[in-house]
Amino acid sequence: MNIEKYMEFRRQLGERITLWMVMSWMLGLSNIGMIMICLHALKEQKIIIAPLTGEHTFEFEHGSASQYYLKEVASYFVNNMLTYSPETISWQLNAALPLLDPECYQSTKQALKKQMDWVRQKNISSVYYENAVVVDGLTVKINGILKVIMAGEEISQKNYPVDVYFSNKTGQLLISGFRHEEKAAS
């Protein structure tokens, strides 16, 4: 009788050990599968950003970015740089500075400090109206009209195209430069 109990116990133990071995192998294979999926996902290096407003999502991949993102950031930057009054210029320029690449941050900040002092001294305001925004790679071309007001009187209104350049050197998409180019009248 003891031999029969022992044989039954041994058979049940063998079944359980086999079951545990099969489960261990399956768990190991699923872990290897998950590691392969993670490695593939990391190789793609695609980042999707969903802002809190939830209106749009932006995608970034190595060497490229969402055109919508580039348009939005460039428009925000240019509007903060070109739409101001003596009372708001400090806030607006300081809101635009964090978007700059660290390589051009200090020189731009010094130039803007001089501009702030000049605007306050002359009591100048300006408004920038965008007409068209075109993305070409990591360059955004914005065409618009710049209206300049001094002491409540409009002193000029002209076409004012601005090019905004982005860089993606450090894995961050930052503004590396901006330029206004006068177009000759034909």
Q: Is residue 89 domain-shared with residue 161, that is, in the same domain?
A: yes
Predicted pLDDT at 43: 64
Predicted pLDDT at 185: 47
Q: Is residue 79 domain-shared with residue 161, that is, in the same domain?
A: yes
Say what percent of the chain tops pLDDT 70.
82
Q: In this model, does residue 44 exceed pLDDT 70?
A: no
156: its two tokens: 């000029």
Segment 30-39 shows an average pLDDT of 81
Q: Is residue 13 domain-shared with residue 89, that is, in the same domain?
A: no
In a domain? residue 28 = yes
Q: How far is CA 169 from CA 101, 126, 160, 176, 177, in A?
A: 9, 33, 29, 10, 14
Q: Is residue 33 domain-shared with residue 72, that is, in the same domain?
A: no
Q: Is residue 17 domain-shared with residue 71, that is, in the same domain?
A: no
Q: Which residues contact 73 (CB under 8 A, 6 or more apart)?
A: 99, 166, 173, 175
- Parallel, antiparallel, or unpaired: how do β-strands 139-150 and 162-167 relate? antiparallel
| Counted domains in the chain | 2
Q: Residue 94 sits in a domain of what CATH number?
A: 3.10.450.230
Predicted pLDDT at 11: 85
Q: Is residue 10 domain-shared with residue 96, that is, in the same domain?
A: no
Segment 51-61 shows an average pLDDT of 55
Max avg pLDDT among 53-57, 135-139, 179-183:
135-139
In a domain? residue 93 = yes
Q: Is residue 141 domain-shared with residue 87, that is, in the same domain?
A: yes
Predicted pLDDT at 52: 47
Q: Is residue 108 domain-shared with residue 141, that is, in the same domain?
A: yes
In a domain? residue 61 = no
Segment 41-46 shows an average pLDDT of 60
Predicted pLDDT at 116: 87
Cβ burial, residue 141 (10 Å; 0-12/13-18/19+): middle
Q: Is residue 70 domain-shared with residue 40, that is, in the same domain?
A: no
In a domain? residue 74 = yes
Per-residue confidence band for 41, with pLDDT thresholds at 50, 70 and 90: low
In a domain? residue 169 = yes
Tell the residue number behind the tokens 């002359």, with chain if given.
122
Residue range of the domain that includes 144: 66-180
Q: In this model, does residue 144 exceed pLDDT 90?
A: yes
In a domain? residue 51 = no
In a domain? residue 49 = no
Predicted pLDDT at 97: 85
Q: Is residue 22 domain-shared with residue 81, that is, in the same domain?
A: no
Q: Is residue 10 domain-shared with residue 94, that is, in the same domain?
A: no
Q: Is residue 175 domain-shared with residue 89, that is, in the same domain?
A: yes
In a domain? residue 185 = no
pLDDT digits (tens, 9 = 90+) for 118-137: 888 988 899 999 999 999 88
Predicted pLDDT at 90: 86
Q: In this model, does residue 56 exceed pLDDT 60?
A: no
Predicted pLDDT at 171: 64
